[in-house]
Structure 1
Amino acid sequence: MTTLYLFGSAAPPVLEVAEVIKAGQHRGWDVCLALTPAAARWLEADLPALEELTGHPVRSEYKLPGEPDAWPPADVILFAPATFNTVNEWALGLTSKFVVGVVAEAIGKEIPTVAMPCVNSAYARHPQFHRSVDALRASGVNVLYSEGGFVPNRPGERPQEGYPWHLALEAVDAVVGARP
């Protein structure tokens, strides 16, 4: 069974994470969910149900030294939605958040990683964002942004077609299908 680490930041599509977990499980994946602290706060009332759905603790903090890892090792990681702040922290190696630390280390461990940002067009115009996307891509991360991925919307608006979760899941499918 493929183990998928599904990570999410505090952007509106994270509220749809239960359906994404179910879609991953339908594909035969063992899904482990982790969230930024802000996203965990958004989903606080749903965390027990999400733990029951995945069969694993939902994580948003680093474990204490000496504590055993509660999850099996990842075969692939999907970070979606990834906010402006998270993408920049990751590219710059700022790992104070558990999810950013795991994906930063995944680059060196060569764990296949797919990321799909969720930023509005005002954030997307910031020069650091494009440098960060380029840095992550150069490090081997499959960043689904612009054509074939997430296209920024105007501030305060959501795309009519919704967040393209199907593109993220298809990208993970491609990774899983390419494994020997």
Structure 2
Amino acid sequence: MSERKKSFLYVVVCAAGIADDVGKLINAAQERGWDVGVIATPQGLGFIDAQAVEAQTGYPIRSAWRSPGDPRSLPPPDAIAVAPATFNTINKWAAGISDTLAVGILCEAYGMGVPTAALPYLNAAQAAHPAYRQSLERLREMGVLIADYEPHQPKAGGGCDRFRWEQAVELLTPALRSGTERARNGRETPREV
């Protein structure tokens, strides 16, 4: 009898003060039996303890495109969580600006049918910008699951106590089940990173 394959979650980490707590999301996913790989934005890479994350996941962190011929270090994702999802990443993603590996994966995930959740983390001044509201609307239209986070006050460095890392797993679990049904019905599988 063959061993059941675990679902694989990509966690896209953006540059925000709370990014170093990404281990909470990794734990939540692993407790539900998922394997996890981390994709960091180039700036986000500086906000996390890369050694600790790699030890926790068992996979190298990706933050740049691989060169042709380089081996793929992560299997294809069954789901993607963007946490913390910053103002910059949300707006670039919604606009289809694929200038980093992280945003490129997010843009491609839509066309590949990969269930995706975003956990925004930004301040109230950024959230007041019309582009942010429009971007969230576009992402929702694309089927992206958006967590409920009340933006913190500018220059206050707050909100970490209200940021629910595990909400990504809560949002994606039902979507992953329906994604498994789509895969059984012949939907395309995302390519590996």
Q: Give the TM-score normalised by the residue count of structure 2.
A: 0.85
CA displacement at 1:42 relative to structure 2 = 2.0
CA displacement at 1:167 relative to structure 2 = 2.1
Deviation string 1:88-141 (CA, Å, 9 cap, x unpaired) is 110111111111000100001111111111111100111111111111111111
CA displacement at 1:160 relative to structure 2 = 7.0
RMSD over aligned CA atoms reads: 1.4
Identity %: 37
Please list, as runs of the form range in 1=range in 2, the aligned pairs for 1:31-42 lying within 5 A after superposition.
Answer: 31-42=36-47
Aligned residues: 174
Corresponding residue for residue 60 of structure 1 = 63
Corresponding residue for residue 163 of structure 1 = 163
* Separation of aligned partners in 1, 2:122 and 2:51: 28
Q: Give the TM-score normalised by the residue count of structure 1.
A: 0.90
* Separation of aligned partners in 2, 1:166 and 1:42: 19
State which structure, 1 or 2, has the greater radius of gyration over its C-alpha atoms.
Answer: 2
* Separation of aligned partners in 1, 2:166 and 2:22: 12
Please list, as runs of the form range in 1=range in 2, the aligned pairs for 1:3-18 lying within 5 A after superposition.
Answer: 3-18=8-23
SS in 2 for 1:63: coil
CA displacement at 1:13 relative to structure 2 = 2.2
Amino acid at match of 1:167: Q
Please list, as runs of the form range in 1=range in 2, the aligned pairs for 1:1-180 lying within 5 A after superposition.
Answer: 1-43=6-48, 46-144=49-147, 149-157=148-156, 158-159=158-159, 161-178=161-178, 179-180=180-181
For structure 2, the 5+ residue unaligned runs are 1-5, 182-193
For structure 1, the 5+ residue unaligned runs are none
